Structure 1
């Protein structure tokens, strides 16, 4: 596999032999692994290039907790997952670590199989979280020169803001959000009007007529499917 396509990890531990063991076994699993033998050395590296950091807690000089604090204070590295490696796990240690943003703990001595499983699990959670953060709800509904601003609750028709009633706006959003889907009068009543308000089919038709008049050249996109209802035709 090309190194550019590999997931890069950093193992930080003042035990050089342990770093080499981690590097050998993680690279056998397809990861690209760098090592550092102190917190100070790690902080001199380009940490933004790593997808996960394995970080020893008890090191000579700067502790793993201090390194983690530095990472989380930096906007460029604050979202990098951290797995702490430690021979000493008291409840207070765990609380400190998790408060610093730790994603997991592995107690020494550990099996390589456990490390591989935990690394895989943390990376999977991290990828899922990143994907969720990038999925944003749309703030506009658009068709050519017809733009509905969902934040400001306004409708722009060919560059000009056109006033819509709340009901007309609701109908337009419902149809434009699901182009091609036919909504019966009952569907629109259920979507738009409060449940305690009695609305007739005629009321729906009147609002559709008003809506079309305000849409200018896009009036024809609000299409009637006889016997079924209305839909937005793109």
Structure 2
């Protein structure tokens, strides 16, 4: 029986690298698959890793209907043995339900990769539904590290060097003041303690240089 599997972890833990490796391994054994992603760092319709590897992919937006997409290919004579679905946290709940239906009704393995929570420490809709529906949920074994060296458990967003905990989940250019330059947006993984304190690597460095720094991290 085909399964819906969810590989989860924080940023920088190798999710996209594993997705690429899994796709390679299955293709090397003669299986035929399709690759999907959403808002990849390399741009639309590309699944990439920070190691520099990349493959073409189908871009997932809210209008993509996985069930209809796959059934259309099959009825036109295509072969699909598995799906690799990266950045699954950005999928809608309905799209995740379609992926479960594909595994159950079409006997196609579905491998999803994504992070559980956003920079506000709230679960993404797609990830929440995957937790509810997946046959297996597998945390990635490669642990991302906070700047302090502890295991990173939270994803943080910075704007103009300052950590923020409010705003749109996906930033396109959230600038309220048209006269204000677009903020420099970055992401960083932190342990819970430093996420709670809003202490990024940059702010920790600044604090260490301050004469008023407290005697604890």
Same fold (TM over 0.5): no
Q: TM-score, normalised by structure 1?
A: 0.25
Q: TM-score, normalised by structure 2?
A: 0.27
Select the structure that is richer in helix: 1
Point out the structure with max Rg over C-alpha.
1
